[in-house]
């Protein structure tokens, strides 16, 4: 067994296959190192061109130190354990060009396995080297809601409905943009931008773009504004900013002599960056249109321009593969990102501003750590070239390419799924705010909105919609259909409301009877209390009256004794006796009144108890009636919700018809 085969076995061991030294112990897995395993491979295939005496491309591979230093374009291998991010691996594995070794077949599989295992093991120099603790690179992404407005997100409310240009078919799709927080997509057409609801595929309105064709569409960070860059080749280029709710163009920035290929605004909406065939990245003041910076680094047409979400950097890419980062505030060059071998067609920032993705004609998408300026992931996305790339809030990517497909990738650049192919190159792609739909357009002018989880479920969206009069006929049919649907629902709602009223009536009647019984009970209770009070008052009067009666009786006796048979004094006796009689008559009346009042207390109490019992008995009938009422109310509420839903549709369709009618007139 030769040295390379032994090394290959060590690779297998590192992947989980162990070799027993004996039945009682397991041998430690041997480290794959530069000196012992990788250097012999480089000496066999690479050292003639890449050595200390002849550093082709500024790279030497005959010593560990020289290899780690890298070549003229920077480092070629990293200790992060990810071979796909290594420039060295991309070339020897023929994932990128120029392939290495040049003019030779790919290295044998066992030798590639050794190099791969060496990178995955931490690019150790020798057997005494230790693996460094892996740093978390910028792929350790945490989704955020930065930029989301506190209130309702912006959606079209009074967008124009007139179609500026009516054509039999749309031109090649030049731009698609989705709102970061709302179910809204913008699609570029000839002298117009169409806005669609991404969940219903409803055409919400059409923004005029009289300058030509929009080549780029981006929403502001909060989704309130749409930024369109475009114009007409060799004639005019501008950047237009629209209010999403009203469709009003609030600003037109720039006056280029050629079309603008891409444009973007910073987070504060104070600056606009744009690039095009003039090879200059231009930064304007968004408020007054003043040119602030004219950056002349690029040597070819600038295809891609994008501000980082935090507004710190601007990325720009050109037709010759040049990719640069600029300080947004000063316009100074921050760094160049080298590695692409073809035109940079599209760039996209991840939400955290730490990673930039670039799509190139070389067929790759590269993910860049903008803090260190190195590639953290590079993958072959589309044969023939990648035309567009975009991130969602989860850090996933969508891409479009010249292999006639759109694709969805995870945050680490792993393919999740492909979307159904079309007949021509897919030129533009975007993903909705919630990641549920992928929207892509091709060279034939077709645009499709497909479910991210079920790509076969897709709907077509027209970049150049039919004229308002034609769409109005469709809306009139919708209105008539909704009105027809609404009639039986309205009848059912009326019946349900009548049922509620019918169920309420016996409850009201029973409650009235219960209330009357309770009122009678309270009245009798009050009468008993009043009688008891009166008895107390009479009892208080009796002792004094009894005492007076004794006194008057004594007076009668005294007068009688004094007469002593004297007839003349009999009148005094009669007067005394009359006074006694009058007083006793009053006392008798009070005593009888007291007896009657006392007796009435029990009568009133019994009446109160009877009425209270009557009210309680009546109340027993309430639960059944209330249950019937609750069912009727529930049925009525369900019917009302159904009615309100249709009524809302009716209002929306009527509003759309009114808007279309205004556009026709």
Mean confidence (pLDDT) of the chain:
89
What percent of the chain has pLDDT above 90? 69
Query: In sequence order, what are the residues at sequence separation of 6 or more whose Cβ sits closer than 8 angstroms to the Cβ of residue 441?
Result: 173, 176, 187, 426, 427, 428, 429, 447, 448, 463
The pLDDT assigned to 17 comes to: 36
Per CATH, the number for 138-465 is 2.130.10.10
**Interior CA angle at 213 toward 186 and 178, to 5°?**
15
- Binned at pLDDT 50, 70 and 90, residue 136 comes out as low
Mean pLDDT of 372-401: 96
Q: Are 282 and 294 in contact (CB under 8 A)?
A: yes
pLDDT band at 445 (very low <50, low <70, confident <90, very high): very high
Please tell me the predicted confidence (pLDDT) of residue 454: 96
Q: Is residue 73 within 8 Å of 339, Cβ to Cβ?
A: yes
* SS3 state of residue 187: strand
Whether the per-residue pLDDT at 1 is higher than 50: the answer is: no
Over residues 100-111, the pLDDT tens digits come to: 888 888 899 999
Residues 6+ apart with CB under 8 A from 231: 211, 212, 213, 215, 237, 238, 256, 258, 259, 260
How many Cβ atoms from other residues are within 10 Å of residue 400's Cβ? Answer: 33
Q: Which of 74, 6, 86 is nearest to 40 (CA)?
A: 6
- The whole-number pLDDT of residue 256 equals 92
Whether residue 135 has pLDDT greater than 60: no
Is residue 9 predicted with pLDDT exceeding 70? no
The Cα–Cα gap between 640 and 622 comes to 26
**Number of Cβ within a 10 Å radius of residue 284:** 23
Residues 6+ apart with CB under 8 A from 421: 403, 404, 405
- More confident site: 206 or 99: 206
Question: Residue 6's pLDDT is what?
Answer: 31
Average pLDDT over residues 179-195: 97
What's the chain's Rg over C-alpha atoms? 47
Q: What is the Cα–Cα distance from 502 to 496, expressed in whole angstroms?
A: 10
According to the model, what pLDDT value does residue 439 have?
98
Q: What is the pLDDT of residue 23?
A: 40
CATH class for the domain made up of 472-664: mainly alpha
- Encode pLDDT of 404-413 as tens digits: 999 999 999 9
The DSSP element (H or E) to which 237 belongs, if any, is strand 236-243
- Whether 150 has a pLDDT exceeding 90, the answer reads no
Question: What does residue 246 show for φ and ψ, rounded to 5 degrees?
Answer: -100, -20
Interhelix angle 109-120/3-14, nearest 10 degrees: 50
**The pLDDT of residue 420 is above 60:** yes
> Is the pLDDT score of 141 beyond 90?
no
Q: Are 90 and 378 in contact (CB under 8 A)?
A: yes
pLDDT digits (tens, 9 = 90+) for 19-77: 333 443 344 567 899 999 989 998 888 877 887 777 787 888 888 888 888 876 667 88
> Which long-range contacts (C-beta less than 8 Å, at least 24 apart) are formed by 397-405?
397/348, 397/357, 397/365, 398/429, 398/430, 398/431, 398/438, 398/440, 399/359, 399/365, 399/429, 400/426, 400/427, 400/428, 400/429, 400/440, 401/363, 401/425, 401/426, 402/426, 404/442
Say what the pLDDT of residue 134 is: 56
Q: What is the pLDDT of residue 602?
A: 93
pTM over 0.75: no
What confidence tier does 14 reach under pLDDT thresholds 50, 70, 90? very low
pLDDT tens digit sequence for 158-182: 899 988 888 877 899 999 999 999 9
Q: What are the boundaries of each domain within the chain?
A: 34-121, 138-465, 472-664
């Amino acid at each position: 067994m030769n040295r390379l085969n032994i090394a290959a076995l060590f690779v297998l061991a590192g992947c989980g296959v162990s070799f027993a030294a004996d039945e009682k112990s397991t041998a430690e897995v041997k480290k794959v190192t530069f000196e012992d395993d990788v250097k012999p491979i480089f000496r066999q295939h690479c050292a003639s061109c890449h050595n200390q005496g002849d550093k082709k491309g500024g790279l030497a591979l005959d010593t560990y130190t020289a290899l780690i230093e890298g070549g003229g374009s920077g480092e070629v291998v990293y200790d992060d354990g990810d071979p796909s991010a290594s420039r060295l691996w991309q070339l020897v594995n023929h994932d990128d060009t120029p392939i290495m070794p040049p003019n030779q077949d790919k290295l044998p599989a066992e030798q590639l396995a050794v190099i791969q295992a060496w990178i995955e093991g931490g690019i150790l120099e020798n057997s005494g080297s230790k693996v460094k603790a892996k740093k978390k690179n910028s792929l350790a992404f945490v989704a955020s809601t930065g930029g989301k407005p506190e209130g309702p997100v912006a959606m079209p409310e009074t967008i124009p409905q007139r179609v500026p240009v009516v054509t039999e078919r749309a031109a090649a799709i030049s731009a698609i943009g989705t709102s970061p927080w709302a179910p809204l997509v913008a699609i570029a057409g000839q002298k117009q931008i169409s806005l669609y609801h991404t969940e219903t595929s409803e055409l919400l309105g059409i923004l005029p773009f009289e300058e030509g064709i929009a080549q780029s569409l981006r929403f502001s960070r909060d989704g309130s504004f749409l930024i369109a860059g475009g114009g007409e080749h060799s004639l005019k280029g501008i950047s237009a900013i629209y209010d999403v709710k009203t469709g009003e163009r609030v600003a037109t920035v720039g006056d280029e002599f050629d079309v603008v290929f891409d444009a973007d605004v910073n987070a504060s909406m104070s600056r606009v960056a744009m690039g095009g065939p003039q090879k200059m990245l231009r930064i304007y003041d968004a408020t007054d249109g003043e040119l602030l910076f004219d950056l002349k680094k690029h040597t070819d047409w600038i295809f891609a321009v994008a501000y980082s979400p935090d507004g710190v950097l601007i990325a720009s890419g050109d037709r010759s593969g040049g990719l640069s980062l600029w300080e947004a505030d000063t316009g100074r060059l921050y760094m160049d990102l080298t590695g692409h071998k073809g035109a940079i067609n599209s760039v996209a920032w991840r939400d955290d501003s730490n990673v930039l993705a670039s799509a190139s004609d070389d067929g790759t998408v590269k993910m860049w750590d903008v803090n260190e300026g190195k590639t953290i992931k590079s993958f072959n996305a589309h044969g023939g070239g990648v035309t567009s790339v975009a991130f969602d809030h989860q850090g996933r990517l969508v891409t479009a390419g010249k292999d006639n497909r759109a694709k969805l990738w995870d945050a680490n650049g792993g393919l999740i799924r492909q979307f159904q192919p079309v007949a021509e190159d897919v030129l533009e792609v975007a993903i909705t705010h919630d990641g549920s739909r992928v929207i892509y357009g091709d060279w034939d002018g077709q645009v499709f909105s497909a479910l991210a989880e079920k790509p076969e479920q897709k709907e077509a969206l027209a970049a150049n919609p039919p004229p308002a009069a034609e769409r109005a006929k469709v809306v009139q049919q919708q209105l008539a259909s909704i009105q027809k649907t609404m009639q039986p629902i309205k009848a059912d709602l009326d019946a349900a409301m009548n049922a509620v009223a019918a169920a309420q009536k016996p409850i009201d009647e029973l409650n009235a009877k219960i209330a009357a019984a309770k009122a009678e009970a309270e009245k009798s209770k009050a009468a008993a209390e009043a009688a008891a009070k009166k008895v107390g008052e009479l009892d208080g009067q009796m002792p004094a009256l009894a005492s007076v009666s004794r006194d008057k009786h004594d007076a009668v006796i005294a007068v009688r004794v004094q007469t002593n048979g004297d007839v003349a004094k009999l009148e005094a006796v009669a007067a005394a006796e009359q006074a006694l009689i009058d007083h006793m008559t009053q006392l008798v009346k009070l005593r009888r009144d007291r007896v009657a009042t006392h007796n009435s207390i029990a009568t009133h109490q019994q009446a109160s108890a009877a009425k209270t019992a009557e009210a309680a008995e009546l109340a027993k009938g309430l639960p059944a009636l209330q249950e019937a009422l609750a069912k009727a109310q529930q049925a009525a509420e369900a019917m009302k919700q159904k009615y309100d839903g249709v009524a809302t549709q009716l209002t929306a369709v009527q509003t759309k018809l009114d808007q279309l009618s205004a556009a026709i007139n």
